[in-house]
Amino acid sequence: MQGLTTGVLPSSLGSDERGSPEGCPVPAVNSLPSRSASTLNCARILLIKPSSLGDIVHAFPVVSAIKAQWPRSHITWVVKRQWADLVERAEGIDRVWPVEMTVKSWIKEGQALRAERFDLAIDLQGLFRSGILARFSGAPMRIGFANGREGSPWFYTQRVAVPSPDIHAVDRYLSVAAALGAALPDKPRFGFRLSEEDMAAVRELCRSRGFAVDRPWVAMNMGARWPTKRWPQESFAAVVDQLHETQLDPIVMIGGADERAYTKKVRALTDRPFIDLSGEIPLGYLPALLSKATVMITNDSGPMHIAAALGVPVIAMFGPTSAIRTGPYGTGHHALAGQVSCSPCFSRVCRHDPELECLHLIKPAHVVDLIRPLLAAHVPCR
């Protein structure tokens, strides 16, 4: 039966475990010997999670768990250069190692990493290039997922058994920290460094655009990497109209410079004012900005995960992807998805008739109804 799914996502889901791929010489494990875990307090740890933006945010609790258990450990995070400014804002990271995603660069970086004499390499990417980078690092202990893709498990010395696919990415990543011997908190911690310098820069930019971040405001993000993840711009425009009619504003559009085309179309669809910051907020300042939002309306995207990690209530539209696996993590969020026979399809191309019905079933009125109580009980994140 077709309809709409809405609700607060559970913070933890799990079921049966999946072990190592057939033929792997080392079996999957759920925990390491206590002697191995006890050596990590002074260990030099290499964390490999190059991309993408949302997945990087999902890995923040792993850093928090490791540092809580082994505060004297030194963690270096290998990340794609375009996301490095965000990782710079992660609490517990001692060094950020930006990389380019080319074969030539990968070989060069592997040689440089080996000179750092890491004790442990953690591969949360689970692909061939990340697995071989762990191997090139020379770390004597290398841990990753038993069901990693592209042969990556062959490069690990320890493989962590992975639960069913229907588990949130945050909990999946934390299973690696648990296997190392870290105690997991009841509520995973996303540690962001929200510096006074970042906050001052954000306040000044917003002041110049005519609004104060310390007062209630609505963040709106219309971008998403996949076309099939994008709620219609006509629907976003209708939300703008309805929020203004009930005096629930200002509305602030965020996103990259390439998303200005979306906001331009929305301006053509509504005569209501909104503030467009697309392309104006550097990635490193985005956590500081979103920490002051009252609520965020968004597609399934990287900024959605930053807002959720900061504790900002999120109302997210889901089409081809699963909110159980990659929805806004924690409590207080709503994931909206129109239920059709092929959902979730995990496809960048919609073959359903009518096209993108799963997103079109989500009506602007559903979103506005969820926003009203959030604005009424506004308490800034910081």
Give the pLDDT of residue 171: 96
- Would you say 101 and 163 are in contact if contact means Cβ atoms under 8 Å apart? no
DSSP track, 209-273: TT--TTS--EEEE---SSGGG---HHHHHHHHHHHHHTT---EEEE--GGGHHHHHHHHHH--S-
Q: SS3 of 105, please?
A: helix
- pTM of the complete model beyond 0.85: yes
Q: How much is the average pLDDT of 96-114?
A: 87
Domain 196-376 maps to which CATH number in 3.40.50.2300, 3.40.630.30, 3.30.70.260, 3.40.50.2000? 3.40.50.2000
Q: How far apart are CA 112 and CA 133, in angstroms?
A: 11
Characterize 278-301 residue by residue with b for buried, 16 or more Cβ atoms within 10 angstroms of its Cβ, and e for exposed: bebbebbbbbbbbbbbbbbbbbbb
Do 196-376 and 12-180 fall under one CATH topology? yes
Lookup result for tokens 């995990």: 346
* pLDDT at residue 4 in the model: 45
Residue 8: strand, helix, or coil: coil
Asked whether residue 19 carries a pLDDT value surpassing 60, the answer given is no
How far apart are the C-alpha atoms of 380 and 204, rounded to whole Å?
18
Write out pLDDT tens, residues 235-256: 999 999 999 888 777 999 999 9
Percent of the chain at pLDDT exceeding 70 = 88
Average pLDDT, integer, range 255-276: 93
Q: Is 121 helix (H, G, I), strand (E, B) or coil?
A: strand
276-316 pLDDT, tens per residue?
999 999 999 999 999 999 999 999 999 999 999 999 999 99
Identity of the highest mean pLDDT range in 35-44, 95-104, 131-140: 131-140
How many whole angstroms separate alpha carbon 24 and alpha carbon 5? 40
Write the pLDDT tens digit of every residue in 311-335: 999 999 999 999 999 999 999 999 9
- CATH hierarchy code of domain 12-180: 3.40.50.2000
Using alpha carbons, select from 355, 363, 380, 326 the residue that is nearest to residue 4: 363
Length of the chain: 382
DSSP 185: P
Distance CA(144)–CA(57), nearest Å, equals 18
> Residue 193: enclosing H or E segment and its boundaries?
none
Rounded CA-CA distance 180/62 in Å is: 11
Phi/psi at 120 (nearest 5 deg)?
-145, 135
Domain residue ranges in the chain: 12-180, 196-376
Inform me whether the pLDDT recorded for 12 exceeds 60: no
Give the pLDDT of residue 353: 85
pLDDT at 26 over 90: no
Could you tell me if 374 and 295 are in contact, meaning their C-beta atoms sit under 8 angstroms apart?
A: yes
- The pLDDT of residue 18 is 44
User: Which phi-psi region, left, alpha or beta, contains residue 7 (left: φ > 0; alpha: ψ -120 to 50)?
Assistant: left
In this prediction, residue 16 carries a pLDDT of 34
Which of 17-31, 116-130, 365-379 has the lowest average pLDDT? 17-31
CA distances 64 to 22, 145, 195, 233, 360, Å, are 33, 19, 18, 37, 39
